[in-house]
Amino acid sequence: MIAQIDWRRSCEEPLLYDSCISVKRKKSISGVEEIEKRKKLEEQAKKAKEDEEEGEKKRFRPPKHCGSATQGIVTVHRRGKKRREAAQSRLKSISKMLKGGKIDIPADDVKRVEDFKNAWGMTLVYIADQKYEEYLTIEMPEGLDFVVEDYLKDSGVPAWEKKYAEQVKKAEDSKKRVGEFFDKKFKLGGELQAEYAAVKETVSPYWVLAAAARTASVLQNFADQLYRAEVPADFRTQEQVWAYCDALADIADPVQNQALEAYTYCVERSTEFQFFNEFSRLCEEEMQQRDATKYPATNELFGVSIYTASRIERVGVLEDPLGGRLNPVKRKKETAGDAKPEDKADDKAKDEDN
């Protein structure tokens, strides 16, 4: 389909499951969550010991991001305007012609029915995908500052009073921008989930799985943005970083649980349809990335050879039914003394006749 070709070619970078994005993260392995928790506890204990020994705090430099490196940071790449608009225009025209699937096709024309389902499903997914990539560009606000030192208030010191007023102003601005971020994410995310849910009506296994994977990705991206939020540069202690990141993680946890439910739905539909494609594999991989211990990778369960290359053995046509063996069974050469009794009797009878 021309619309599909234009949509794919409009991306100037390699596609990731037909999306013009890239994801930066480390692969999750079994037990990594427990390792991260242990490291955090060790860091807390080490810092407490250092503070106790030194009696004073060194200048603190907060990390750039919250969360773990296994949680993704998404980059949305630019699509060429001409091809992007041409593709979306064709897709919307096709959607109108399909009339919500109300087209009579002879039931016995199986191939035509399947082609129609796939074309309908693809159209709905690609139209929603433009909004999906727009959704991904809604970034977590940067330069947030929620630190307000209450002891500066009503201190009677003009410099302190001024500093306190500035802190309150920055905190209110940060809260406002975070609120706007949540409003945009929730609004557009809800619209996307509804549009992808409509793909189920097409009954196209391929595109139903694609839509299910997209729905899960919408939720997971939101969770990852919260997990990997930028840490305010004004933080002066590790405790502030932990409190800030933990608060965002508390918001992200239920969103990620919804994403896991959506990924599970995707895998269950794949099993139900007995239909497996790159999107069902994506759902499996994302479940493993979220919790490698609970959802181990398939190759960890069954194993994949990494030392030998898989190849087909070539065997020529077997022309000789004996397999090339001239005398497959060798019999001992009989001697006169080895003759059987009945053979001796036959020989005696022949002699008498003669």
Please state the rounded mean pLDDT for residues 224-235: 87
Q: Which of 255, 217, 252 is nearest to 66 (CA)?
A: 252
pLDDT in tens, 103-143: 777 878 889 889 999 999 999 999 999 999 999 999 888 87
The stretch 55-63 carries a mean pLDDT of: 68
* pTM score, whole prediction: 0.72
Contact 255, 222 (CB under 8 A): yes
Nearest partner of 119 among 95, 103, 96, 102, judged by Cα: 95
Q: Are the C-beta atoms of residues 216 and 286 closer than 8 Å to each other?
A: yes
**pLDDT value at 82 more than 80:** yes
Q: How confident is the model at residue 33 (pLDDT cuts 50, 70, 90)?
A: low
Domain borders along the chain are 2-27+52-302
pLDDT in tens, 166-185: 989 988 998 899 889 999 99
